[in-house]
């Protein structure tokens, strides 16, 4: 419930819009109840007038029925418009809010989460929260307000009928929805968790298809995906059955309320204490009042999924970053690097990856970091970027990395690694990630320095060429040189090269190295590599054991 209250705080900027949506829902419910009640009264009155039992003024109730029908339609349209608009606005803000909370956690606090799980939280879990206002909060509040209004009117006509309706509304609007919520709590949690697991398994199958084929594990992964799908379908089916049962019981409660009202008023009609047309009106009013709470069983069936989705989102957003950098800081005047007595562990009680490591790199110098996998080479690059806390001192230009703001660090450091992250957008958009104001001339100059200009100009759409998901439409060498072009555009004085030629053929390796020779000239550079060719860039080497 704390997570749901947190969600309400995020929705505060749209509280007026949300209140208007609830008010329109109340208008829709009351107009429906009034329309059915007045229609029943009018038809009964016409029948009694036909046999000479009473005199009826025809035009006023007929006009009221037409007006209520128009009001119901118009209010329903506005209610859908306002409530869905408020919901979509909330989801858009929530997605940005969640991303902003994820960003400081990367990569240190996100390493224990799978990519598919993160994607499920960012998309499916947030989308599930549309239930909170649209299917839970708004129907519950509107149902409460409408029920009070209906009961007040019924009490004015007949306290006994109002008492019957109270019992019916409590049964249909409280007892049954609470039972539905209890019955779907576990399956709701399962739906949210299984949806994330299914996203993870799908991501593993699609992105790792080549490796799975080599290992002969495609069938096993496909079977795992199918099993997860069946479990998810089973959990969703359980929710659907409980929700349908709740709705049926709620409707049955309305019928029982109408039947009890009929029996209660029958003797009064026979004794002449209540007119026949009023009798019909009250019976129909009790029947129609179930609409005030009719949506609640389905709403509370969705509560389990909504609550679990909120828990998954806020539990991650509340994680504390491994290191908290200041919001603002000075920019170093020079850019030599120094490690002094650095000891680094990836968690309390875990062995030291780096143990009392000290070295320095003078400005404009390129140092190659060599050693076996697990020796701590990438850890050194992560510490320079301010991703992890450590014992000892890591400085850029005499300034401790932990005293520099994130903005300053991203301005002074550029990374070219073996994985180049490209968005499914144009080459121009992917280059402008590091220089949003760069014009096309600057982009072409950067591509020329990265030995990629001629190839991009040969594309039919040039800079407007879409690179595909994760750069799928580019070769590995082209994607790597896009990263180098970004580094040229950023004009960062510190360059981190993490296996820059890994996985490239001889031709692309040569092109990348020629570009890197230009890039690192006069820059403070750290080079991590297992290959011999990139060592031509290095002025000296540091071997880690």
Q: Tell me, what's the pLDDT at 10? A: 78
Sign of CA dihedral 286, 288, 289, 294: positive
Q: Which pLDDT belongs to residue 380?
A: 94
Q: Is 484 in contact with 515 (CB distance < 8 Å)?
A: yes
Give the dihedral sign, CA 178/184/185/191. negative
Q: What is the dotted CATH code of the domain comprising 2-317?
A: 1.20.1560.10
Phi, psi for 253 (deg, rounded to 5): -60, -40
Rounded-to-integer distance, Cα 405 and Cα 351, Å:
29
Question: Distance between CA 45 and CA 277 in Å, rounded?
Answer: 5
Q: What pLDDT was estimated at residue 354? A: 92
d(CA 35, CA 40): 9
366-370: strand order across its sheet: 413-417, 494-498, 524-528, 366-370, 540-543
Residue 284's nearest CA partner among 166, 161, 170 is 161
CATH of domain 337-543: 3.40.50.300
Confidence (pLDDT) at 54: 66
Q: Which residues contact 236 (CB under 8 A, 6 or more apart)?
A: 187, 191
pLDDT score, position 1: 66
Question: Which pLDDT belongs to residue 356?
Answer: 93
Task: Tell me if residue 95 falls in helix, strand or coil.
Answer: helix
d(CA 255, CA 249): 10
Boundaries of every domain in the chain:
2-317, 337-543
**Strand locations in 173-229 (E):** none
Q: Residues in the chain with pLDDT < 50?
A: none
At residue 523, the pLDDT reads 93
Q: What is the pLDDT of residue 348?
A: 79
Contacts of 471 (CB under 8 A, 6+ apart): 420, 422, 478, 479, 482
Query: Is 474 in contact with 468 (CB distance < 8 Å)?
Result: yes
Contact by Cβ (8 Å): 197, 114 = no
514-542 pLDDT, tens digit per residue, is 888 989 999 999 999 988 888 999 999 99
* Residues ≥6 apart with Cβ < 8 Å to 270: none
User: Can you give 21-64 as a three-state secondary structure string?
Assistant: HHHHHHHHHHHHHHHHHHHHHHHHHHHHHHCCCCCCCCHHHHHH
Listed residue (235, 252, 250, 232) closest to 299, CA to CA: 250
Residue 134 near residue 83 (C-beta atoms within 8 A):
yes
- What lies within 8 Å, CB to CB, of 428 at 6+ separation is 440, 443, 463, 464
Helices (H), 58-175: 59-102, 115-120, 126-128, 130-131, 138-157, 159-170
């Amino acid at each position: 419930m704390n997570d749901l209250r947190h969600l309400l705080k995020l929705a505060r900027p749209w509280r007026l819009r949300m209140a208007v949506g609830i008010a329109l829902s109340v208008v829709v419910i009351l107009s429906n109840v009034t329309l059915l009640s007045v229609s029943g009264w009018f038809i009964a009155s016409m029948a009694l007038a036909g046999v000479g039992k009473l005199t009826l003024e025809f035009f006023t109730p007929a006009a009221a029925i037409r007006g209520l029908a128009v009001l119901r339609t118009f209010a329903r349209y506005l209610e859908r418009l306002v409530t869905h608009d408020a919901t979509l606005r909330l989801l858009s803000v929530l997605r940005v809010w969640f991303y902003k909370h994820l960003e400081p956690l990367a990569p240190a606090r996100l390493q224990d989460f799978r990519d598919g799980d993160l994607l499920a939280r960012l998309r499916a879990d947030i989308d599930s929260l549309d239930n909170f206002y649209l299917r839970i909060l708004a129907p519950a509040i509107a149902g409460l307000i409408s029920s009070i209004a209906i009961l007040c009117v019924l009490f004015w006509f007949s306290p006994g009928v109002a008492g019957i309706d109270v019992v019916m509304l409590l049964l249909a609007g409280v007892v049954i929805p609470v039972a539905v919520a209890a019955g779907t709590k576990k399956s709701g949690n399962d739906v949210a968790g299984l949806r994330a697991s299914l996203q993870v398994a799908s991501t593993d199958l699609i992105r790792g298809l080549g490796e799975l084929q080599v290992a002969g594990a495609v069938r096993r992964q496909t079977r795992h995906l199918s099993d997860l799908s069946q479990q998810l379908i089973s959990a969703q089916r359980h929710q659907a059955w409980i929700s349908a049962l709740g709705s049926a019981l709620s409707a049955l409660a309305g019928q029982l309320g109408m039947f009890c009202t009929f029996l209660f008023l029958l003797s009064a009609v026979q004794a002449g204490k209540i007119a026949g047309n009023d009798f019909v009106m009250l019976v129909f009013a009790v029947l129609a009042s179930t609409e005030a709470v009719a949506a609640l069983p389905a709403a509370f069936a969705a509560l389990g999924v909504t609550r679990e989705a909120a828990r998954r989102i806020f539990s991650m957003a509340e994680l504390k970053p491994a290191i908290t950098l200041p919001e603002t800081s000075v920019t170093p005047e020079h850019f030599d690097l120094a490690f002094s007595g650095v000891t680094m562990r990836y968690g309390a009680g875990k062995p030291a990856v780096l143990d009392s490591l000290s070295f320095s790199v003078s400005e404009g110098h390129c140092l190659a970091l060599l050693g076996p996998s697990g020796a701590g080479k990438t850890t050194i690059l992560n510490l320079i970027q301010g991703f992890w806390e450590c014992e000892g001192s890591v400085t850029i230009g005499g300034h401790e990395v932990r005293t520099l703001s994130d903005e300053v660090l991203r301005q002074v450091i550029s990374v070219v690694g073996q994985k180049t992250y490209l968005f499914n957008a144009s080459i121009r958009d992917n280059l402008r990630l590091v220089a949003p104001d760069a014009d096309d001339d600057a982009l072409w100059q950067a591509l020329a320095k990265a030995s990629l200009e001629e190839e991009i100009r040969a594309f039919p759409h040039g800079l407007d060429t879409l690179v595909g998901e994760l750069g799928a439409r580019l070769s590995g060498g082209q994607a790597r040189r896009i990263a180098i072009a970004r580094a040229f555009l950023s004009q960062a004085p510190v360059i981190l090269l993490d296996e820059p030629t890994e996985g490239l053929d001889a031709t692309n390796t040569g092109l990348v190295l020629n570009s890197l020779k230009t890039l690192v000239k006069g820059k403070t550079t750290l080079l991590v590599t297992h290959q011999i060719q990139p060592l031509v860039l290095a002025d000296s080497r540091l071997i880690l054991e």
